[in-house]
Amino acid sequence: MKKLAMVFLLALVASVSFGQISISQQKTIGVIRNGGSEDVSISKSEQSITIKYMGIDEERKWNSDFVKFQGGEKEIDQLYNAFLQVLESEEKNSSVDITLGEGTTLFIEKTKVMGISYITLGNGKTKTRPLNKNQITKLFGR
């Protein structure tokens, strides 16, 4: 009787723990590579968007970081338009902070080098290499 109760209890615990796991497939929208490493990538699942990037942190070391937030196609379009707005602004050096979801912030900073506009992405700790308009378009799969 004790063995039967133990088997029942283990089956109950196992079924509850399996119910807490949810698996979502990430679909990559676009990737910007520098050599063999990924500089920036955007991927999405059914309910979330992830931006992964490699960049220089405050201590001047290469680190990877990411920003994950809830959203779909509409949010990806808004993000793409925000990137282009900063890139195409008339100001030489400008920046925008974008709040993604609850408390997640992504900053976009524009710089101009030899007459060509670039943007960098970051979250306050890590900042990417400069990205031009063609790279942004490729990143968003357009």
> Does a structural domain hold residue 98?
yes
> Does a structural domain hold residue 20?
no
Tens of pLDDT, residue by residue over 112-134, are 888 888 998 887 777 888 899 99
Q: Greater confidence, 106 or 58? A: 106
Number of domains into which the chain is organized: 1
CATH number of the domain enclosing 123: 2.30.31
In terms of residue numbers, what domain contains 38? 25-139
The string of DSSP letters for the chain reads -HHHHHHHHHHHHHHHHHHT------EEEEEEEETTEEEEEEEE-SSEEEEEEEEEETTS-EEEEEEEEE--HHHHHHHHHHHHHHHT-SSSSEEEEEEETTTEEEEEEEEEETTEEEEEEESSSEEEPPB-HHHHHHHTT-
> Does a structural domain hold residue 45?
yes
> Does a structural domain hold residue 1?
no
Task: Report the range of poorest mean pLDDT among 29-33, 36-40, 74-78, 107-111.
Answer: 36-40
